[in-house]
Each structure stands twice: as structure tokens, then as C-alpha cells.
Structure 1
Amino acid sequence: MSKTQKPVDELSAEEAADELAALAAEIARHDRLYHGDDAPEISDADYDALRLRNAAIEVKFPELVREDSPSRVVGAAPSGTFGQVVHAKPMLSLDNVFSDEDVTDFVASVRRFLAFPADRELAFTAEPKIDGLSMSLRYEGGRLVTAATRGDGTTGENVTANIRTIDEIPQTLPADAPDIVEVRGEVYMRRDDFIALNERMAETGRTFANPRNFAAGSLRQKDPEMTRSRPLKFFAYAWGETSAPLAETQFEAVRRLGSWGFRVNDHMAICRSVEEMLARYRAIEAERASLPYDIDGVVYKVDRLDLQERLGFRSRSPRWATAHKFPAEKATTVLNAIEIQVGRTGALTPVARLEPVTVGGVVVTNATLHNEDYIKGIGQNGQPIREGRDIRVGDTVLVQRAGDVIPQILDIVPEKRPADAEPYVFPDKCPACGSHAVREEGEAVRRCTGGLICPAQAVERLRHFVSRNAFDIEGLGEKQIEFFFNNEDPSLRIRSPAEIFTLKARQADSLTKLENIDGFGATSVKKLFAAIDGRREVPVSRFLFALGIRHIGETNAKRIARHYLSFEALRRGASEAEIPQGKGDPGNSAWQELVGINGIGAIVAEAAVEFFAEAHNREALDALLKEVTPVDEEPVGDVSSPVAGKTVVFTGALERMSRDEAKAMAERLGAKVAGSVSKKTDLVVAGPGAGSKLKQATDLGIEVIDEDQWFERVSG
């Protein structure tokens, strides 16, 4: 209870009504932020406190329960980004309990409802509560037909195309599966995958607080290929509509889901008493830090399905299940320093150096501060956070292991602020090279302008160049890159990508042999040279990604490479493209072709054009191309289809499929999907309401067909 809240017993009816109205609005806003925007502003513990306060007032004043009460609402309404799916059976939330006494009360309430005496056996399952995004997968005739988020419990978002990219989700079920079955579970991301991806995304200034938000954001990408590039996982633990029973018990039903190829949680167990339930809770809590995924509690469910049927549901939750939440993992410590790290693209990222403190069984010494606005107490939309309190060196700070792994500073303890603590001044010069650090309009990140002269960026660019999804050169790790970069011996120095591939030749003529240097040896040097020589040919997409062009990550590199196929065509197209000057300038045909690639907008296209226009980059690229050969990309999709190799534009309202499904279908059939019409467009599929693109296609004499004709063509 906050200092400004009265105890519930002291509230008048008028005060209770006002507070219930305020709580309904506040909880609804946090539901939208969490379920719809994947950008929660408060911790789970603070959110739970709001709901508990609401529930306590409703118990005291049942006549004041509102129609929009949080106790009657599940999740948040689906966004308008995707199509909607009405769940055949509602996807409800679980009630939460927070203490051993609450668990005892839950079991007692189940027994009362069933009229089970204390000596009659009542079994429950206990399993980790995965902190991910709830998902319902509908199979008909053994085939996956739709996938939908929980949404508001009744209607969710249709994310079928994106779900199909997750390897752990079967596209078909075995013959023993019911003809209709909705498999439900949680889409999540492993912590190690989250850390690696978040570090890469930090260069763009867009990071996620925890794996749950990252998984949800990945699943809500408009382009399924973007989702495919994110290592999402899926745990199955429940079901919705089925045309035949799965089993007689919860435990057996989940094991049957596992037999169909779904991943199910092996920490699930059967408990036959409150004591066993609490023991299982503590055992899972003890393993929490060592699990590769995030959990925030333990879920108890009545095991027998016939008893679940008898128990039924309340307005927003089942009577036969509850979630026993873990306590929040927070601690206070002192902020000793704020250091600035410079990333590959010059992004200046603040890091908090803390007096070591144990949070949730892990010793924390560093924490993220996100960006300069976060330090000032300003949120993403310019609104105050932490009630506008800034963060200063010397402050006593509240630290939380967000997502169980990445520590973050939530707030400060104002009364413990030292008298001489001064506001932190974010540097306007790069700490690595002294160049100006500028912040572009609309961006949260400040960047070094030093480019190729900045040692921090140069080292990071080399690390990126040899990383797994780029050239993937084994033996050139962080320490080795720094050794070669800082070496003054010309036969050992590597300060550009081309010099990686000339190292062996320079070593052959040198008196300073690498195998004689500590940390190396004849065998490791031989393996290093073999690894380098083994990467003298790489696909165009990897080559482009390795160049470290801003805004061109793995997915955009693949999009561009699959369009041009050869690096020569790609380089020529980007070099000839002219960036439009003003609103009335459409740019030349090379620009229109580049910006028209499906998923590639003006920002990405400008980055590519500017990279190839820079003389220093061209020189470095020419030197690299003397050592390395980019291998042409293979056409994607069914090369034998009627639209294989053709450039297709979809415009207007499509009625038989969503725009995303149409694009995905065309790409599966080997077509190139463009976002704009140009002379190189082969086919335009126009639905009702088609406007300027249809007119442009007609003026250029490009073939135009409707949606029905598209299906006739691709099915023929």
C-alpha cells in the first residue's frame, strides 16, 4: 500500500467508487502496454499490487463492481495490425496467489466446490509459469490452419504466417490427433538468444527490457522473414477446442501433446497435497536462475479433466488453476559510475557500474541505463518516468534483474542522494576518438561521427565482419581481433577486412611469426589460416551483412541480395540510385527499384546509397574484393511456378488473404515482391480501392490482374 492510499477498511463508498474507476483505467492502460505494445512501464509485482488493491476493494464493496472491472477483463483488445481470430473457446487468464497461505486457500476452495472431504485424494499438476506470449494453434485434419494471440481472451491477432516460421511448432500432426484440436502454449525466447540479439539491436537504439517483450515484438513483425530471423521457441501446455478428448488427466494430455512433436516442460509434476505443491514450488524457484528461459511462478492445475469440467470458470479465470508467483527480484545498491560504451555503428550506450549486490541469487555489478533520456527521467514518448527523477553518480538505486538476466536500474532512493551529487552530463564527444557525438532528430541514441577513424567502431566493425552470421571466421574472437588491431608490426596488423585475408601472405615474408607469440601456436595458426581461406567465397547476403552498413542487418541483407542476386548488380544498383531531393522528386529508376524491394524503405535504401557513395568505403571494398568473391544468391521459392522470377506488386484491399499472406505466398512461388511500381514490375495484383499504383501500372503498360485471377494463375 502506498503512503497516499487508505486501508480498504477505512474507505467510504464514495472513495471506493472513485478508486475503482481510477484502477480500472490504470490497469487497462498497463494491459494495453503489456499485451498490445510489448512495452510495459511497471514491473509485474507493481501490476499485481494494483490488481490486488482492486480485488480487495471489490470484496469490501461488491455493489460497486464495475462493468469494466479488471476482474472481468482478460488481456487487451487485439491491435489493428493483424487480422482477428475469434477463439472457439476463450483464452482466459489465471488468478495469482503470492503466499503459502494463499495456496492452502486455493486447494480448500476447490475441495469446497467439489464437496471433497479432506481425506479424499485430489491431485494437482505443478509446472513452471513461462514468461512469454500466449498462443493458440488450430489444427484441422492434422494441418496447422491458424495461429492467434490471446488478445482480449475472446478475439486475438492472426499471426499464422509468423508462427509458421518457428521450427519447434509442427506444421502437421500425426494420425492419432483429433480432426480438430487447438494446441495452446507460450511463445518465448531463450535468455542467451535474447542477450545476443539485444546486443546487436543496441546499435539501432531499439532494445527490449526482457525476453518476453522481445519474443512478443518478434512475433508481431509484419514481415514473417523478420520473425524467422528471431530464435523463437514454443512450450505446449494446454488446449482449446478439440473434436475428441485428449486424455483423462492434465498430465496425460500434456504428455500426448509432447508425443505429437511439441516441446512440453519436463519440470511438470503431479502433487497430491498442499505440502507437495509448495515443495515443488520451492524446487522450481531454486532452479530458476539456471533455467535457459524466464519463468515468473508455478502454475497449479487440478489434474483430472472431468473435475476441471465440473469446476468451470469465473468471469476471467478457471476455478481449477492458479499461478503461484515468485517474489520480485530487486535490491538496492550504490551507483559508483556511469561509463559510455561505443558500439559498431558509433552508438554511445551508458552503463551503470554498481557496488556489487546479490539480486535473485546472482551478483550484479553492472546495469543498463538505456540512453541519455532514461538517465534524465524521460520515457520513449517524452513523458516523465520515475516521476521525473534523474539518475546521478552516488545515488542509491533500486536494481532489478529484468527478464531474470539483464539488470536494470528502476529508480533511485531520493532520501539517500548525496548532497554533492550532480546531474549527469551525457558526453557530446566520443570517449574513444574525441569526435563529435550527435543525436539525430527523432532518435534516442547519440552517435560518434568519427566513422573509420574511431578505434572503437573499427574494432567493433571487424568483430561484426567475422561474426557467425557474417563471414563466420573461427579463431578470430574478441581477444584476437584486439591483438591484431592494436599490433604495430605490419605483418600482424589487421585494421580493415581485406587485411584479414592478406595476413597469411604477410606472415610468410615476416621474421615475426605468429606461432611464436603467446596465446598462439603452430596448430592454432594453421587452423586460423585455414578458417580464413575457407571464407574466400561467401553468399552475397552474408557479404552485404558483414559490411556493417547501418540499418542493413541480416534480414534486410537477405532481402536486397535476393532481389539483385549478384553483388555486381547490387553495387551497380545502389551506386546508380539517386536519393530524391524533396517531396516532388521520385528519384531515378535505380532508386525506385531499390526502395521498391519488399521490406526495404527509404531509410534502408539511403543507407545503402550513402555507403557506396563514400570514397573510403569504395576503396576498402575494392581491396576486399581482390581477396574475396561474393557468390550469387540462389533464387528463393518454387522456380517452376508461373510467377517465378517476376516482380509483383500488390495494391488495394485483398479479400481472400491478408497483404502479408499474399507477399509470403508470392515469395514461396519464387516471385520478387516490390512495394512500388516501376518499369521493372512484371505484374500488379489490384484489389478494391487500388489507387496511384494501379494508375502507374496502367500508364506503364504493366499487366494488372485481380485477386481471383492471381489464384487462378498460381494454381495453374
Structure 2
Amino acid sequence: MTAVEPPDNPYVENPPTDFESVDALDAESAHEQAEQLREAIRYHDHQYYVENDPVIGDRTYDALFARLQDLEDGFGLDRENSPTQRVGGEPLDKLASVEHVAPMQSIDQGGEVTEVREFDERVARGMGDAGFDPDERTYFCEPKFDGLSVEIVYEDGVYQRAATRGDGEVGEDVTENVRTIPSVPGRLRGDYPDTLAVRGEVYIPTDAFQAYNRERIERGDDPFANPRNAAAGTLRQLDPSITAERPLAIFFFGVLDASVEFEQNSEVYERLPEWGLRVTDLAEEVDSIEDAIDYRDRLLDERDDLPFEIDGVVIKLNDRAACDALGSTARAPRWAFAYKFPARTERTTIRDVVVQVGRTGRLTPVALMDPVEVGGVMVSRASLHNPAEIERLGVDVGDEVRVQRAGDVIPEVAEVLDAASDGTFDFPESCPVCDSPVERDGPLAFCTGGLACPAQLERAIVHYASRAGLDIEGLGEERVQQLLDAGLVEELADLYELGQLDLTSLEGWGMQSVANLQEELEASREPPLDDFLAALNVPSLGAATATALAREFGTFEAVMDADREQLQAVDDIGPKVAAEIREFFETERNREAIERLLDHVDPQPYEVEGGDELDGLTFVFTGTLSNYTRSEAQELVEVHGGSATSSVSGNTDYLVVGENPGQRKRDDADANDVQILDEDEFEELLAGRGVLD
């Protein structure tokens, strides 16, 4: 039913969007224009979200909406139930409890056709016992939406509140969150009842769910497991503005309480749209239980092509008076039954493939699928691991596949059952986050963006501030993520440009914590060269290699400009490590990020302080030492002229073994005739050479 256009409203058909300045209006004119805009926007919302028949374009709608916001802001107009409230109100401390106007009962359910026929027999007996003619029974059938059930209350046609089902008697107050759902009208239309409490199912459309999951994966967030979980989690957000950003929709399907009477359940579906409440067009009235069973089977066949998730059908006795006579058990009405679909098990269809960029730059393809039950858990995504696995499987978007859980934990695509095309998914040649070239390393793929890739930035900052980096206290993962979310840090150099006002505006940052962080950052401006090299998170460049580079080249500029041959001349640096270091420093965007960082940080030239007592000797350490940390032992060797490397080779003089040593290094020492020392023997050697008193 197409909505009746608001009369004499200039913002309905071909509305003007060239508005005069808000400052040029008086209060009365602003109020009048705002009321016309609200009325028109409600009409356009109904046409778009309920009728699927918009009469204006998106840009025109956006212009009308923005004008209404400007008027409300400029004149302080009352916004209660204004369409602008869909952008979300103030965050809540918690969700309050609210009692339903009428019980929100469960429905008896089953997946066997014999259970449906037994339900029909009970209905027939109950009708006969209550004085109704059971031969005249008909049923009303509707999809069983797989979302979150809510109660919504209207008074005098105005939206009042919304609540989750909860225990059926008391639910959570989600009024502000439900207000943001575009298909929930703030005012009813037509000849609505004075009081109305309706039941609806909040859901996320399948395409919108896949698109939203793609966005989450690309920005490094975990995707939602399935549309129902996503809808439930979204509706329970304490910040309504977060709810407003997510693609929620609703179907209404029941009346809990109203100041009007209905003779049949099918009549509910006729009246709700007249009041502006969206219903599905898949509901049907049928003459018998066998027709209801056929209805369920048809929807099962159509299930994969529907734009939303359903997990069965609901069969209701149509005569409302007979429903009242049959009544309810303690938990469910006797006049309704949910005929469930069989769970999708292991076999499903890939709807999209999105490439996730990890903190190390590794690219992992993830298949987004129709939700399927695997090992008792509903999943809608599965790992494709790497480009080589995609090629091995021959997998592409649209393929029907079998999914399994690797190690009973991680869902993965096991095989293609029915290919949608002759090809395979085209793995990107550039990073989907920063557009840097993608480099293959055997079966794996990596983004070469390094410091310039936002997906790797959190890890880079956390490492930079860690004890393995510059040891900047106050920059753990949670606070780094907070800075990134607030847009205050987009690369390492931004840390040194954070102002007091920037930080104190964030939750949990007091004046003292801000002062402490700024003091820590100030202290890190002139780091030792080896610490700075280790802090940059260069692939394969750990603390020992950083010290070896610092000792060999002396300055950061010399390290950054060293070619592969020069790098390979350093102890413990082979061709692969040399290539990775060279590639990191040759990448233009890494160089730009480093140049910006060097505007704030001055790595100090490496100076060996100590003697040459261990000159010419190379040590490797394994296991846990009792008197030194591994890094302390390595530093002790190096400041006295020796070298400390991470792997045993023919150039190694001593392998120092602590508690719980690695067997591989011991085997390598035996193979290369390297002398093995325990901690006491190591200290005896140091004492004999004058390192220890």
C-alpha cells in the first residue's frame, strides 16, 4: 500500500534543496519549515524502507535531512521523535529493564513433519472442546526470521519505547537504539489505534551483513559470526550512534496489545502496513495443515535466495477467537507452531572473499558465506589461508563448498562441491588497505607497506613503545588502539605531536597520565642506535641483529643506506635477512614515514664502551641463564669486543647453555664442533679474560 502524500508539503515531490541561510529565518519560520521537513522525511523513509519505492534520489534526501539538522541545531528545536534522532543519541551507562505490556511468549517448535501434524490434531481437538467447528480451521503462515525479537510501543501514534524479549515478561530497554532503525517509524500513519504494542524481528539483511563484515575485516576487526549475532550485539550497544551506523532492519509480525480488535491473524498483516509498519510479503493464509507443510517446503527451497536469514516458518491458527479459546501453556501459545528448517551443515555458498591484512603485513583471504552449522556452531566465515590454498582448492565467489573446523577451532574451506565458474578468486596485487605492492613468499603473501600501512600501524606502535623497542611506558595495546580510533595517530611521528588537549579529551586520560606519557616520549627522542633499529619493527631484525648492525655501521643513516653485500658481511645476517632489511628501507612509503619520525627522534651513534677482552670471539646463547637475561649476556659480550649471534654456525666459538635449552642449537654445535659451556663455565671464561673480577 503506497503511502498518501502529505498535502501541501513542498519537500515531497521535486523538493528544492537550495535553502536560504538559517540565520535569515525567524523562529516561527524555522519551526514551520522543520515540521514540513520532518513530515516529508517520514514520508520518504516510508517509501524507501517499507514500500521499496523511493520518489526522490539519495542526494536530495540527504540535503533535506541536513537542512532539518541545521534548523534543529540553529534554533534549539525539540527533537523528540524527529527523524534526525536516527543518527543516535547520547551513550547510556547501561540498559535498563522494562516490563512488557503483554507477555512475549516462545513458540513450540520442531523439525519433523509428524510434529506438525500432531500440532494440527491438538488444535482440532481444542477447537472442538471450545465449541468451534474444527473443519473450518485455516492457518496463517509466515517466515520465522532469524533475528532478535523486540516489543515496540506507540501511544497516540508516537513511538514511545522498545524492549528486547528478555525472559518474556521483562526485557532490556533498547528505545534509543531501535529509534535509529530506518524502518521503525517515529510516528504511525493513517487511522492508527490510540495504543499499540507490536512485536517485530530486528535483523541485518544478508548483503548488508556481508558488506559490513568485509569492512570490519579490512580494518582489522574480527567479523561477526552470523547475522543474528550481529543484530543482537548491535541492538545492545550502550552508544546509540554505533547502532545507527550498522545496517539494521525490521519486520513486524504481531500485535501484543492494541485499542482495536482483529478477527484473524492474517488481518494483522493487512493493518500493520496501513499504519506504516513493515511486514514481509512472504506470509500466506492456507486452508489446511498440508498446505502449511507445502508452504514450509517452498520457503526451504527459496531460503538461499532470500535477502535475509530465516530458520523455518511459523504456522498460526488464523481465527483469533479460537486462538483465545485455546489459550497458552506457561511458555507458549497452543495455537502456533514453528516448523524448523534442517540446519545447514557443512555445505554452503561463498558470497564474497575479503583479504585481511595482519599486523605483520601478512595477507589472509577470508571467505564470507551463508551461515552454516559446523561442529554444532553456526559460522559465516572461513579461512582460505593464503593464495596458494586458493589455487589448490580452485575456489571462487559463488562456489558451493564444504566447510570444516581445523582442529575443531578455526573454520576453513575444505573443498569445492559445485563451482560457479571456471576460474579462481583473483588475489590482489596491491594491499587492500594501503595499496602498496603485494609480495609473495612461497605460499604466503605480504603487504610491503610496512610503517605506512594502517593495518600494520597498531602493531608497529606497540612494538616501538615496548621493552623490545624504546620502552615508552603508557602505550600499551589498548591505549594505542584508542589513539588510532580517535584519529590522533596515523604514523609513528604523530606520537611526538600529541598535545595535552588531544589526550585529555579521551576517556581514561587524566592530567597526570598525559604528563607521564609526554615525559616518556620526551625521554625517547635521543635513543641508542641499536634500540631505535630494533624499535622500527623491521622484518627479521631483532635486538641481537640491531646491535650487530649498530656496531658495524655506527649511524642510522649508514644502516639505512647499506646495500645487501654490506649487510651480509655482518655476523648472523644471511642473504634472506639482508634482502628483507634492504627492502624495508628501500620502500618509498617506509622512507617517508622514517623521515617524518627523524624530525622528532635523533638516534645516537653507536659507541662501544668497554674493552676488547673478547675480541674475535662469537657466542650464541640458548636456554635461561640464572644471573643474566639473554639480552644482558649478549650486551656483556659485545661491550667487551665479542659478537653475540642468534644461530650456531662454523664461525661460532661458544654455545652458552642455560636451563631448558633448545635442542637444535645443541645439535648444530655438535655438527660444527662448537664448544658448549654451561653458565658457570661461561663466567669462568669471562673471569679468565678479565671481564669479571
TM-score of the pair, normalised by structure 2: 0.44
Higher CA-based Rg? 2
TM-score (norm 1): 0.43
